[in-house]
A and B are shown apart, each in its own frame.
Chain A
Amino acid sequence: MATTALFFLFAGFAIACAVSMVYHRNPLYSAISLVGVFIALSCIYITLAAPFIAAVQILIYAGAIMVLVVFVIMLLNLEDDKPLNRLRYLYAVGGGLGLILLVQTFFIFYAVMRAPKQTVDADVTVGKTLSIGTAMYTEYLLPVEIVGILLLMAVIGGVILARRLEQPKLELVVDNELERRGEGEIKDEFRIRL
């Protein structure tokens, strides 16, 4: 009974935060609401006997990714979002997609109602550290490795995109000096690579 009450508490909090995320015009308020959604979701994971997933949810989404998002919003100091005047047909598209999502939700409710009742033993649930680790490094080793390589590629790509590859100023000074002395031909020998 207590678990049910807690579930409704956290689920209500998650939905309220999600609605506030969509409706706020200020991007920083939206980001804070999204953090609220993540925290509420991780509380629900704990009530479902999946502490590892809950901890990772907080550590990665709320603690790392959203901090960077908040950081960018604060640095750019974004203006409030204005309602769209052009592209009004997007409202219809968004409404249609929302309707599909709603139908899906009701279908899931329906399927859950009809499914036979199962009781899960709390010791062997998938949310424990041991079961996740065992599954990841035995049965699903190849997908884990592939995802690891993908993430490494993303990291390297990010570093390359963020680095400015313009020519250093020092070189220009050396070039100008050599040209002034009339020794422009031997420029390449004095070129400094940074």
Chain B
Amino acid sequence: MEAIVKTIFPFAVVSIGILLAFQGVLMIVAYTVLAERKVLGWMQGRIGPNRVGPWGIAQPFADLFKFIFKEDIVPDKSTKFVYFLAPIVALTCALMPIVVYPFGPAITTIDWSFLPYGLGEGITQLPMTIARIDVGVLYVLGITSVGVYGIALAGWSSNNKYSLMGGLRSSAQMISYELAMGASVIGVVMLAGTLELGGIIAAQSGSMFKWYIIPQFIGFIVFLIAAFAETNRIPFDLPEAETELVAGFHTEYSALKFALFFMAEYVNMFTVSVMIVTLFLGGWYIPGLSLIFEVGSIPYALVSHIGFIGNICAFLFLYIWIRCTLPRFRFDQLMNFGWKFLLPVALANVILTIIVVYFLNR
């Protein structure tokens, strides 16, 4: 009995954490969709959705029920197995990075050693990260790069020329901008001396002037642009350019399978916003907050957490704002921009950082 409880207990605790984090992220994602429709409406002189609930507040749930109860149409000549696999791959790869997000500082709690079998031995802190992986940054980049398969396979298996073109475009775009994105992260990793997201935040804490947006401003701009391309958002939404490709890779998808792609896109937006805030803007750290609340207390963690989520929401708003502002690139412009401008700038930033770090550490 004791052995079974000891084996299952860590899994149970982590599972509860994962459930809570997924719930929170998916709620934010659902309301991002509503916010996008509202903000787009205001910027275009419209009202936006306002029928479901007061101020349209229940619109995401109405959308969800619509997606669930719609007829699920599968193209006759599609490759069935891959056609079903693609949306699953897309959403799984979008959700997996959530486990390494640093949602906030650790909370000092009561001593848990009263639990039976010595389960809570020496545990006095509750971390607000599910898994502190040694290679957090690489993990996030790796999982998001596997997400390309979802889109590429969806385009191929639909047996539709527009889908195939959308899938090919999307994978070419994501592979190209992944390089610039990875290169822009190297500078931050070099300054922080760690690949772990919590460690990068710790290296930036203490003062606002330690935030890596100041020494790594070029890296920040490159990462921001590459993030727009990675998430297939305007001005880089070539995979779903309506005027050319109907709806791109998800032309043949309907009902819940389309909803999975839709959710994956917005969760990816959330992920890159988390990465920007963590790598360049000090994560959950709020300057001067330790003077008001005791470090490790519940209010400190709560305010830090709200600050972190607020930062992310600011970047999500930036996405919507840009969508209203900029027109779409042409595909050759997109490729030239990625390979001939963004990648050399990111590599130059890496070399510059190497030189500066070398002379600082001498």
B5 to chain A, nearest CB (A): 12
Could you say which residues of chain B place their CB within 8 Å of the CB of A75? 168
Residue in A51, A58, A70 whose beta carbon sits within 8 Å of that of B133 in the complex: A51
Tell me, in angstroms, the Cα distance from A161 to B133 when the chains sit together: 41
Chain A window 59-88, contacts with chain B (Cβ cutoff 8 Å), 1 for yes, 0 for no: 100111001101100110000000000000
Could you say which residues of chain B place their CB within 8 Å of the CB of A67? 145, 148-149, 152, 171, 175
Q: Are B149 and A129 in contact (CB under 8 A)?
A: no
Residue ID in chain B nearest A35 by CB atoms: B149
Within 8 A of A (CB), among B139-192: 139, 141-143, 145-146, 148-149, 152-153, 155-156, 164, 167-168, 171-172, 175, 178
Could you say which residues of chain A place their CB within 8 Å of the CB of B139? 51, 55, 58
Could you say which residues of chain A place their CB within 8 Å of the CB of B143? 58
Tell me, in angstroms, the Cα distance from A68 to B149 when the chains sit together: 11
* A1: Cβ under 8 A from any B Cβ: yes
* B63: Cβ under 8 A from any A Cβ: no
* B135: Cβ under 8 A from any A Cβ: yes
* B238: Cβ under 8 A from any A Cβ: no
* B72: Cβ under 8 A from any A Cβ: no
- Do A70 and B149 form a contact, CB below 8 Å, given A1-B7, A28-B82? yes
Q: Are A63 and B11 in contact (CB under 8 A)?
A: no
Could you say which residues of chain B place their CB within 8 Å of the CB of A129? 134-135, 195
A78 to chain B, nearest CB (A): 12
Interface residues on A, range: 20 to 34
Residue ID in chain B nearest A38 by CB atoms: B146
* A52: Cβ under 8 A from any B Cβ: yes
Q: Are A1 and B171 in contact (CB under 8 A)?
A: no
How many pairs of residues, A versus B, come closer than 8 Å at their CB atoms?
73
Give how many B residues have a beta carbon under 8 Å from the other chain's beta carbons. 29
A81 to chain B, nearest CB (A): 16
- Do A52 and B175 form a contact, CB below 8 Å, given A63-B148, A71-B168? no
Tell me, in angstroms, the Cα distance from A165 to B85 when the chains sit together: 41
Chain B window 39-83, contacts with chain A (Cβ cutoff 8 Å), 1 for yes, 0 for no: 000000000000000000000000000000000000000000010
Within 8 A of B (CB), among A3-44: 28-29, 32, 35, 39
Residue ID in chain A nearest B157 by CB atoms: A28
Tell me, in angstroms, the Cα distance from A32 to B133 when the chains sit together: 27
* B115: Cβ under 8 A from any A Cβ: no
Residue in A1, A2, A32, A56 whose beta carbon sits within 8 Å of that of B138 in the complex: A56
Q: Are B156 and A74 in contact (CB under 8 A)?
A: yes
Residue ID in chain B nearest A54 by CB atoms: B135
- Do A64 and B138 form a contact, CB below 8 Å, given A1-B3, A71-B168, A129-B195? no
Q: Are B167 and A74 in contact (CB under 8 A)?
A: yes
Q: Are A55 and B138 in contact (CB under 8 A)?
A: yes
- Do A2 and B7 form a contact, CB below 8 Å, given A32-B153, A71-B152? yes
Could you say which residues of chain A place their CB within 8 Å of the CB of B195? 129
Shortest beta-carbon contacts, A-B, top 6: A63-B145, A55-B138, A58-B142, A59-B142, A55-B135, A51-B134
8 A-B pairs in the complex with CB atoms less than 8 angstroms apart: A2-B11, A51-B139, A59-B141, A62-B145, A64-B145, A67-B171, A68-B175, A70-B152
8 extra A-B contacts, CB within 8 A, seeds A2-B11, A52-B134, A58-B142: A28-B82, A32-B82, A55-B135, A56-B142, A58-B143, A63-B148, A67-B148, A70-B152
